[in-house]
Amino acid sequence: MSTATVAPAGINTVVTEVVRRFGDRTVLDGLDLTIASEELVVLLGPSGCGKSTLLRLLAGLDRPDAGTVEVPKRRAVVFQADRLLPWQRVLANVTLGLRGADADERGRAALFEVGLGERTRAWPKQLSGGEAQRVALARALVAEPELVLLDEPFSGLDPVNENLFREVILELKRQGTTIIFSTHNMAVAEQLCDFIFMIYRGRKVLDGTLDLIQDSYGFDTLRVRVEGASLNGLPGVDRVTDFGRYQELRLVRGADPQGVLVELMRRGRVDRFERTRPSLHDIFVRIANPPTDGPADGLNPSS
Amino acid sequence: MSSLVLSPPRQVAVIEERAVDRETFVAAHADRSRFAGLRSRLSWPLGIYTTPLAVLLAWQVLADIGVLAPTYAPAPTSILRTAVSLWNQGVLGPDLEVSLRRALIGLACGLTAGVVIGIISGLTRTGEYLFNCVVQIFNTIPLLAVLPVMIVWFGIDELPKVLVIAFGAFVPMYLNLFSAIRGVDQRLIEMARTTGAGSWRLVTKVLVPGALPGFLVGLRFSLAYSVLGLVAAETINANQGLGFLITQGQTYLQTNQVFVGLVIYSILGLLADQFVRVLERVLLRWRPSFEAVA
């Protein structure tokens, strides 16, 4: 069932107490979400956590089993696969949902915007993967939506296409469009997003700006590079992650980083020592892959 | 630009110990002579007509040296002469015309019904519940078994003949179109819904073009079955048409005349196949298909 409602000004999307089940598996379990207009929101979460399910609910492709989903009527979806109609030429694919005499003109403009102004007559099977994704993006742009949903838009793109997608998304945001996309690319999420939501086991476990989220963890991370020394059993260090060119140490709450530095210098030659807030990557891992030998930090959904 | 980084010594010994099977790929055609293009054109100059022409040639030779008796299987040239003389006698022309008219009317009725009902059933639950089971039952009834019923109901004039042909064309068209529409990729239908395209666009831009390959398969079967229906209807009771020509030839032991009829039926089948091929090439341009290997 769907009913027309008028949301208060400044609010684009509201998800209230949404439950979605597949058989006896509850994928979304009482999810709440409020997204303001003109925001760029990233949806994080491990595979199978319900990101795509949520995006499908927002797109109106599925109905929730409980709760309500409120989204603008004018919305567009960029699916993970391009989903172009193979029997329509590129331009006809872009203008599929358009009405009016200027449809072709608008389609051409959208294709020009994604750098495919020359390929309006091509068949989808003649396009490269990146080009097909760009056509799918143009198809979403052309409707001038108030909400754009993108399911992992950056997966499988080369750096040039990634730049183009980022530019188009930022341009959409400048024009006042609200954008929600899911991704596993933490660097893109950190660079682009106003707001971050993370879903884990059907519930929202992170909700806020990158700064707020990182601040809640504090400066508890050390990036170090130490020649010829074992990093095992450092006092005050909870976990060591080896990134190859450097190692990340997570401090036990309240531990003194100076003490760790002294211990490191005692063990070997310290080439690098840097105290930072945890990266989004690290925060993701902490939530989705908590250490088995102890309780995870505060954001464990069961706590 | 020279590299300042010394590469570490390779562990050659390890690689040599393990023999690796390797493949080398070179540019296509690079290993062929400059006559390659000519050769590939000459290697199958007749294309798909190779086998029929070879059979014809062998047949002619066997007939000429007397292995095949003229009353058993007359030579192709002899069949051709008979065809010309039958035409000149004013027999073949009208018979052919009658048969073609029956086939075309029957086909037109059967295909129209198959397409219309197939689309309704494919698009709507109601249509599926109303028609699908019935046509599935029709599908199991042999075409030749329908003929006696038609004769009982409609006599022995044109109507039962046209109906048998229409029946033969209808069933495969309906079945293939129905399953093709139901088989259109669900993800594309979903995508179309999110773009705000209405039901009309969904049908005309997604479902119907997506079902075209299935439609063409249906058309192929429909054409073949309609020829089958034509033969059956004309052979059993007719006083005009190709089937009548054949029955007459059989009665008076005119083997030549029987073969003239058979040859025309097979030419009709060949033309139908060529027609569908052309349609496929035009309608399925978007689909890069498998180009068979040499």
Instruction: Note whether B186 contacts A: Cβ–Cβ < 8 A.
Output: no
Q: Is residue A246 part of a domain?
A: yes
Set of chain A residues whose Cβ sits within 8 Å of the Cβ of B190: 61, 83
Is A97's CB within 8 Å of B286's CB?
no
Block residue for tokens 């198809």:
A139
Distance CA A220, CA B73 (A): 96
Q: Is residue A207 part of a domain?
A: no
Task: Count how many domains chain A has.
Answer: 1
Q: Is residue A128 part of a domain?
A: no
Distance CA B108, CA B115 (A): 10
Q: Which residues are bridge partners to A75 per DSSP?
A: A147
pLDDT, tens only, A236-260? 888 888 888 888 888 888 788 888 8
pLDDT at A294: 44
What is the DSSP secondary structure assignment for residue A126, as one 8-state letter?
G
For chains A and B, count residue pairs whose Cβ atoms are closer than 8 Å: 54
Mean pLDDT for B220-236 is 86
Residues 6+ apart with CB under 8 A from B82: B74, B256, B257, B259, B260
Q: Which structural domain, as residue segments, surrounds residue A224?
A: 219-276
The CA angle B274-B279-B281, to the nearest 5 degrees, is 95
Closest chain B residue by Cα to residue A137: B195
Q: Which residues are bridge partners to A149 per DSSP?
A: A77, A180
Distance CA A303, CA A157 (A): 38
Q: Is residue A232 part of a domain?
A: yes
Reference A179, options A210, A208, A145; nearest CA is: A145
pLDDT, tens only, B145-160? 888 888 888 887 888 8
Is B205's CB within 8 Å of A92's CB?
yes
pLDDT, tens only, A148-162? 999 998 888 889 999
Instruction: Note whether B204 contacts A: Cβ–Cβ < 8 A.
Output: no
Set of chain B residues whose Cβ sits within 8 Å of the Cβ of A125: 286-288
Could you tell me the two tokens for B117? 């009902």
pLDDT at A292: 55
Closest CB to B195 among A86, A97, A124: A97
Set of chain B residues whose Cβ sits within 8 Å of the Cβ of A61: 190, 193-194
Asked whether the predicted pLDDT for residue B29 surpasses 70, the reply is: no
- Residue A140 Cα, gap to closest chain B Cα (Å): 7
Distance CA A285, CA A200 (A): 11
pLDDT, tens only, B35-87? 666 666 677 777 778 888 899 899 999 988 888 887 788 888 999 998 999 88
The three-class DSSP label of residue B45 is coil
Query: Which residues does chain A have with pLDDT short of 50?
Result: 293-303
Q: How far is CA A292 from the centre of its chain?
A: 26
Could you tell me the two tokens for A176? 């006042």
Is B210's CB within 8 Å of A87's CB?
yes
pLDDT at A3: 60
pLDDT at B137: 92
Q: Is residue A233 part of a domain?
A: yes
Asked whether the predicted pLDDT for residue B110 surpasses 80, the reply is: yes
Set of chain B residues whose Cβ sits within 8 Å of the Cβ of A146: none
pLDDT, tens only, B155-213? 878 888 899 999 999 999 999 999 999 999 999 999 998 888 888 999 999 999 999 99
Q: Is residue A142 part of a domain?
A: no
pLDDT at B128: 92
Distance CA A71, CA A12 (A): 6
The upper half-sphere exposure of residue A2, i.e. CA atoms within 13 Å in the direction of its Cβ, equals: 13
Instruction: Note whether B196 contacts A: Cβ–Cβ < 8 A.
Output: yes
Q: Is residue A243 part of a domain?
A: yes
Set of chain B residues whose Cβ sits within 8 Å of the Cβ of A139: 195
Assembly ipTM:
0.79
Is A79's CB within 8 Å of B209's CB?
no
Q: Is residue A164 part of a domain?
A: no
Set of chain A residues whose Cβ sits within 8 Å of the Cβ of B191: 77, 79, 83
Q: How many other CB atoms are found less than 10 A from the CB of residue B21?
A: 4
Is B193's CB within 8 Å of A61's CB?
yes
The three-class DSSP label of residue A255 is coil
Closest CB to A85 among B190, B196, B205: B205
